[in-house]
Chain A
Amino acid sequence: MSSREQILQALAQSSIDIEMPQADLSAFKSPATDTNTLLARFGESVTTVAGNLVDATGEQAIIIEQHINDLMANNNQVLSLVEGVSGNQQMPDSPHELQHIDYAILPAKFGVAENGAVWINTQMLNRHDTQAHRALPFICENLIIVLDKQNIIATMHQAPELMSLANDDFGVFISGPSKTADIEQALVVGAHGACTLTIYLV
């Protein structure tokens, strides 16, 4: 008998026989909240997780371009997957070559007000480049996210409808820059992933 069958058979003798129904989670899908409240909450959360939030809506849109131009003028390697924002680097053949990227600029599908997380999946990464490497959001030194302010949800419970993970897909909630407190519980921002995270709201 294979191990698979042995395990499944052993489960038949489990003593947890109570037919516990599937939990009803509908109550957690919070009622609609207005955009301003969501924006304010999202902003607080991003700060809590050591991220940066910049308002680039309406007339402010220009500041993204200015920022990126400044970065490139300072000899940074910038790779952008956001439409209308161009960097100075192309997607390399191997993910390992991404190690030199100083700034990656990526579109996020939605943001979550309660924890400042943004959702990025392969669909977002591949919108303009069919061979975007999954390693990009993690290996870049600094991460810049562009997010439509209409796409902020109140809590994680609204996320599953929007995550749209296709077969063989990959997606990630990213909340702030990478961090650790493994040495004497002292918080250090910048562990293995990006050392800074800036979110531009458009």
Chain B
Amino acid sequence: MYSSNNHAKNARIFCQDEGRVDWHSKALWNLRAKRDKAAASIPEWEALRQAGSQIKLHTLSNLSHYLQMFEKQCVANGIHVHWAKDASEHNKIALDILAKHQVKKLVKSKSMLTEECHLNPFLEQHGIEVIDTDLGERIIQLNNQPPSHIVVPAIHMKKEEVGDLFHEKLHTPKGESDPTRLTRAARQHLRDQFLSADAAMTGVNMAVASEGAVVVCTNEGNADMGVNLPALQLHSMGIDKIVPDHDSAIVLLRMLARNAIGQPITTYSSFYRGSKINGEMHIIIVDNGRTEIMKDKILAESLKCIRCGGCLNTCPVYRRSGGFSYNYTIPGPIGIAVGAQHDDSNTIPWACTLCGSCTYVCPTKVPLDKIIAHHRRLKAQAGKLPFGKKHYMPLVGKLMSSPTMLNCAMSSARVALKIIPHSIIKPFSGAWGQYRELPVSPKSSFDTWYKQHTAAKKEAK
């Protein structure tokens, strides 16, 4: 499903349609602007971020304790708890539960974890019909695509494309592209699915250890429509979703929707602490590489993430390269942070300008730019620098550390920029130079200017 092309190549595909890229970039920046407004309306916002970070660090550093507390409380509430060390075990557990109940149709609400585990194709192979019920998720499911954003999964599509898709699959009138009418058609179509489903599955936004409860947030109400109709409900969660208690969950809940889309809270924030009468509730707790991430002190902080999508919305690279350019289920800065280790192209950590905007907006202070720089270091240490960088990066290191060599190199570069035609030098700048003009060479370096300037000043005295 995901290629392992290098990031620049993937981005080039998305960038072919300039109008779309501009729209994509603006739409996401609009979310960032709404986020800023929502954050500014809370005077204690920075204190909340600090608290959010501390809550997550505290929980992660005592994770074994809190996971066991959570399990104990769940069992006391009559909830079945399962543990899965990896994606395939998670999928198998889910299948076993569904098979036991002879489930033919499963309605699902958004869960990045089940995307990560590729649960849908697995269940479909075993004869279970899986319906994604979040509107954006349903659109891309009908379009046979993975999500391109973790909060707004169909942000890469234009309304006319959705219209064509719905015409084909849901028989809306040809040429219909009005978002309201398309949404109404989807509501009707998905109502039928909810009413005929045998089981429901959701992701988990927070798992409250002291209560044995899971918190599920949606704007559409699809998770709750799903969970509350059939008898059987399943919830999949990464081990990193635990928070100690309600007070901590509330801190994250106050920031989640504000940071995602500038809304004060999601329309529905549901706390499930047990099944409905005569129902059955299962929770699958999944590791799938998270304990491995936790062995590295810097990478570990990526597990503070609450998947608000704020870092994607602000990222200058994501906004203009699209969600399918990252070779991983999760794109953008957080996608690099948790996915770069799986990237065979070894280019994804470089899909970043290190501008730090992501870190600045993150509600739990995940140090994204630091983590991404760390990934570059890890790739270099493993001898996996991307083609091109492999050859010159070690030299750059040496060059940068010697002022004399650097000065000498820079002055020859200035000369080269002046006397050699750009068409000849440009290929040497790689992907960077392809859509950019090379800089005009300054007359002298800062170093030379500084020396002359201070000398002139001294003379004046």
Residues of chain A touching chain B, judged by Cβ–Cβ distance below 8 Å, are 2-4, 6-8, 10-23, 25, 27-28, 45, 48-49, 95-96, 99, 112, 114-117, 121, 131, 133-135, 137-139, 155-157, 159-160, 163, 165-186, 188, 190-194
Known: A23-B58, A177-B267. A170 touches B272 (CB 8 A): yes
Q: State whether B183 touches A183 (Cβ < 8 A).
A: yes
Q: State whether B270 touches A15 (Cβ < 8 A).
A: no
In Å, the complex CA distance between A101 and B211 comes to 33
Task: Count chain B CB atoms within 10 A of each CB in A172, A182, A184 and give the residue with the most.
Answer: A182
Known: A15-B300, A178-B268. A20 touches B61 (CB 8 A): yes
Task: Assess whether B30 is interfacial by the CB under 8 Å rule.
Answer: yes
Given contacts A165-B273, A184-B158, 19 further A-B contacts (CB under 8 A): A7-B83, A7-B287, A11-B64, A12-B64, A22-B244, A25-B51, A27-B47, A96-B195, A115-B265, A134-B228, A156-B250, A163-B271, A167-B77, A168-B274, A172-B224, A178-B221, A180-B220, A184-B162, A192-B190
Known: A16-B300, A172-B271, A192-B187. A183 touches B224 (CB 8 A): no
Contacts of B63 in A (CB 8 A): 11, 14
A-B complex: 5 closest residue pairs judged by Cβ atoms: A193-B221, A168-B274, A191-B220, A115-B264, A182-B136
A23: nearest residue on chain B (CB-CB)? Answer: B54
Contact of A160 among B250, B292, B296 (CB under 8 A): B250
Task: Assess whether B60 is interfacial by the CB under 8 Å rule.
Answer: yes
Contacts of B27 in A (CB 8 A): 184-185
Task: Assess whether B205 is interfacial by the CB under 8 Å rule.
Answer: no
Known: A17-B61, A190-B183. A160 touches B219 (CB 8 A): no
Q: State whether A163 touches B246 (Cβ < 8 A).
A: yes
Q: State whether A191 touches B58 (Cβ < 8 A).
A: no
Q: State whether B159 touches A176 (Cβ < 8 A).
A: no
Q: State whether B179 touches A188 (Cβ < 8 A).
A: yes
In Å, the complex CA distance between A191 and B110 comes to 15
In Å, the complex CA distance between A7 and B251 comes to 27
Contacts of A137 in B (CB 8 A): 224
Contact of A186 among B179, B239, B275 (CB under 8 A): B179
In Å, the complex CA distance between A171 and B250 comes to 14
Residues of chain B touching chain A, judged by Cβ–Cβ distance below 8 Å, are 27, 30-31, 42, 44, 47-48, 51, 54-55, 57-58, 60-61, 63-64, 67-68, 76-78, 83-85, 89, 133-136, 139, 152-155, 157-159, 162, 179-180, 182-184, 187, 190-191, 194-195, 211, 213, 219-222, 224-225, 227-229, 239, 244-248, 250-251, 253-254, 261, 263-277, 285, 287, 291-292, 294-297, 300
In Å, the complex CA distance between A181 and B262 comes to 13
Q: State whether B225 touches A3 (Cβ < 8 A).
A: no
In Å, the complex CA distance between A135 and B268 comes to 13
Nearest Cβ on chain B to A132's Cβ, whole angstroms? 10
Q: State whether B228 touches A133 (Cβ < 8 A).
A: yes
Contacts of B77 in A (CB 8 A): 167-168
Q: State whether A178 touches B267 (Cβ < 8 A).
A: yes
Contacts of B244 in A (CB 8 A): 22
Contact of B155 among A19, A45, A165, A185 (CB under 8 A): A185
Known: A21-B58, A23-B55. A13 touches B295 (CB 8 A): yes
Contact of A165 among B44, B68, B271 (CB under 8 A): B271
In Å, the complex CA distance between A159 and B265 comes to 14
Q: List 22 A-B contacts (CB under 8 A).
A: A6-B85, A6-B287, A7-B285, A7-B291, A11-B64, A13-B291, A14-B294, A16-B61, A115-B264, A138-B228, A156-B250, A157-B254, A160-B245, A165-B211, A168-B273, A169-B274, A170-B270, A170-B273, A175-B269, A180-B219, A180-B220, A183-B159
Contacts of A96 in B (CB 8 A): 195, 229
Contacts of A179 in B (CB 8 A): 219-220, 267
Contacts of B268 in A (CB 8 A): 138, 172-175, 178, 193
Nearest Cβ on chain A to B107's Cβ, whole angstroms? 10
